[in-house]
Amino acid sequence: MDRARQWTNSGRFVVDPRLKSILLFGGTFDPVHNGHTAMAIGAMAESGTSQLTILPAGNPYQRGRLPIATPQQRVAMLEIAFAQVINVVIDTRELERSGPTYTLDTLRELRQIHGDEASLVWLIGGDAFARIDTWHKWQSLFTFANFAVAIRQEEPHPLHIASVALKAYLASRQTGAPTLGALPCGSYAMLKAPVPPVSSTDIRVRMMNHQSIRGLAPDGVCDYIEQHKIYELGEKIQVGYQKTDDNRH
Ligand code: ATP
């Protein structure tokens, strides 16, 4: 029997309101876009988590290049994008840390803050989850959090592209999304809510090519990018860097 949720006689699944259940959403957010907002809102609803903590990454080592927008600009765009969502915190701890962004350090700190009983649910895209075994001390991540996996439309299922070792590790850990917010750590669930196949790369490339980005990010974020001309020179000035798809470890 899980600690925090029970089926009532009327067949409703109820969450113990005393349990803290927090959806954690880490990313580079260079910039935040409609895929991010859709997956965060969908994941909160599906997993029954009651708070959203957004963690913009400092120096994502696996990425092969630094973000183009400044940390302040990435935070400002997140504030605009999530202004209408209740119970949201933008947590800048990774921006304040020097050196590469280790998700494990972040989770360790958050576990200490919220205590052993809290449910911590790390929201992640399917592409990143399929390669989570490349993250620093990846198995330890599951001792601190659960994972809610959002799949981009048209993207392969992460388990179809995961390594044999990762598939074996995950075999006994899958659960349904509604259970995530009731378990402290150790499980994962695939989310059902559709997520538009937008990426930050699309937006940066479109800005570099002087194309419209309307509809790819919230209007306020598009206004901010245009006003501050953030991505117009974009990756052209970072030709020494090789981009990869991974964003943290
Ligand atoms: P980039 O194009 O620069 O690699 P991104 O669009 O993947 O960026 P990130 O900030 O790196 O954005 O993403 C944070 C998290 O959100 C990652 O786990 C990523 O896989 C996931 N994600 C981003 N966009 C989507 C999407 N459209 N559908 C599902 N997951 C997504």
* 157 vs 218 pLDDT, higher one: 218
Alpha carbon distance 106, 100 (integer Å): 12
In a domain, 183, yes or no: yes
Rounded to an integer, the average pLDDT of 73-92 is 95
Global model pTM greater than 0.85: yes
Is residue 230 included in any domain, yes or no?
yes
Angle between helices 219-228 and 71-81 (to 10 degrees): 150
Distance from Cα 199 to the centre of ligand 1, integer Å:
6
pLDDT at 242 over 90: no
102-133 burial: b if 16+ Cβ within 10 Å, else e: bbbebbeebbeebeeebbbbbbbbbbbbbbbe
Please indicate, yes or no, if residue 194 is contained in any of the structural domains: yes
The tokens 């708070």 sit on which residue? 51
> Scanning the structure block, which residue is given the tokens 């969450």?
15
The total number of structural domains in the chain stands at 1
150 CA distance to ligand 1 middle (Å)? 10
Q: Is 152 in the pocket of ligand 1 (CB under 6 A)?
A: yes
Query: Are the beta carbons of 94 and 104 closer than 8 angstroms?
Result: no
Which of 32, 34, 39 best tests ligand 1's pocket when mutated (most atoms within 8 Å of CB)?
A: 39
Which residues fall within 8 angstroms of residue 10, CB to CB, at 6 or more apart? none
Q: For ligand 1, is residue 65 a contact (CB within 6 Å)?
A: no
Out of 7-16, 60-69, 93-102, 156-165, which region has the weakest mean confidence (pLDDT)?
7-16
Query: pLDDT tens digit string along 173-208?
Result: 999 999 999 999 999 999 998 899 999 999 999 999
Per the domain annotation, does 249 fall within a domain? no
**Contact (CB, 8 A) for 39 and 127:** no
Write down how long the chain is: 249
Structure confidence at residue 18 (pLDDT): 58
Is residue 52 one of the residues assigned to a domain?
yes
Q: Who contacts 18 (Cβ-Cβ below 8 Å, separation ≥6)?
A: none
Residue 245: inside a domain = no
Where is average pLDDT lowest: 71-80, 87-96, 154-163, 170-179?
A: 154-163
Determine if ligand 1 sits within 6 Å of the CB of residue 28.
Answer: yes
Indicate if the pLDDT at residue 15 is higher than 80: no
Q: Over the stretch 86-135, which tens digit does the pLDDT of each residue have? A: 899 999 999 998 877 799 999 999 999 999 999 999 999 999 999 999 99
248 belongs to a structural domain: no
pLDDT digits (tens, 9 = 90+) for 37-48: 999 999 999 998
Please give the pLDDT value at position 66: 83
pLDDT-derived band of residue 17, with 50, 70 and 90 as boundaries? low
Domain span at residue 116 reads 4-237
Provide the mean pLDDT of the chain: 87
Residue 7 has pLDDT above 90, yes or no: no
Range with top average pLDDT, 14-28, 116-130, 150-164, 226-240:
116-130
Environment class of 100 (CB within 10 Å of its CB; exposed 0-12, middle 13-18, buried 19+) = middle
The one-letter amino acid code at 79 reads: E
**Looking at residue 2, what DSSP letter applies?**
-
- Number of separate helices (H) and strands (E) present in the chain: 11, 8
Q: Report pLDDT for 32.
A: 98
* 228 part of a folded domain: yes
* Shortest-distance atom of ligand 1 to CA 32: 10
In the prediction, which pLDDT does 208 show?
93
The CATH number of whichever domain residue 29 belongs to comes to 3.40.50.620
